[in-house]
């Protein structure tokens, strides 16, 4: 690796809840630099969650992210001409990133509703340990379990 590793930038907390994890999720929602649209989508999704579940929407959001975030992932490693799928532990920051990514991919894959409604539905499903994002996590765990024999290739 050449040069120094990039330094971690401190992310400013969001306007409404003053939380960095919410600001990071809003940044993941954002497309083409339209942050105000991303904020509107996220806050509308939280309003929908509070109406549907009668729970605190931030608690639902936190629990959903925690339920979707993986602890193990699969990485390809080339050893002597063969490629092995090696299970590797996931750092907490990467787990959060993967969880957010899977939630947003699952929400965007749904058709026929506004993005705020799709995101709210997916967050509620993840809160209840169901839905497409949870299925992605379970598939990752199954792959890791199936390839556990190659764990010794991990550094």
Q: What is the CATH number of the domain that holds 115?
A: 1.10.455.10
For residue 32, the enclosing domain spans: 20-69+92-143
Q: Tokens for 45?
A: 């999704």
pLDDT tens-digit profile, the chain (155 residues): 789 999 988 999 999 999 999 999 999 999 999 999 999 999 999 999 999 998 999 999 999 999 999 999 888 888 888 888 888 899 999 999 999 999 999 999 999 999 999 999 999 999 999 999 999 999 998 988 888 887 777 76
pTM of the model: 0.89
| 11: in domain | no
Number of domains in the chain: 1
| 96: in domain | yes
CA angle (126, 30, 111) in 5-degree steps: 55
| 3: in domain | no
* HEC-encoded secondary structure of 31-62: CCCCHHHHHHHHHHHHHHHHHHHCCCHHHHHH
Helix (H) or strand (E) holding 143: helix 132-146
DSSP state of 17: T
| 61: in domain | yes
């Amino acid at each position: 690796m050449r040069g120094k590793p990039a330094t971690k930038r401190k992310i400013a907390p969001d306007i409404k809840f003053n939380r960095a994890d919410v600001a990071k999720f809003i940044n993941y929602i954002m497309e083409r630099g339209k942050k105000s649209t991303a904020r509107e989508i996220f806050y509308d999704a939280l309003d929908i969650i509070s109406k549907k579940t009668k729970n605190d929407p931030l608690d639902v959001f936190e629990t959903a992210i925690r339920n979707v975030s993986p602890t193990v992932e699969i990485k390809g490693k080339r050893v002597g001409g063969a490629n092995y799928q090696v299970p590797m532990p996931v750092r907490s920051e990467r787990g959060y990133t993967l969880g957010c990514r899977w939630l947003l991919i699952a929400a965007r894959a749904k058709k026929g509703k506004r993005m705020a409604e799709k995101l709210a539905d997916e967050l509620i499903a993840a809160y209840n340990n169901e839905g497409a994002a949870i299925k992605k996590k379970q598939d990752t765990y199954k792959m890791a379990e199936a390839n556990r024999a190659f764990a010794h290739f991990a550094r």
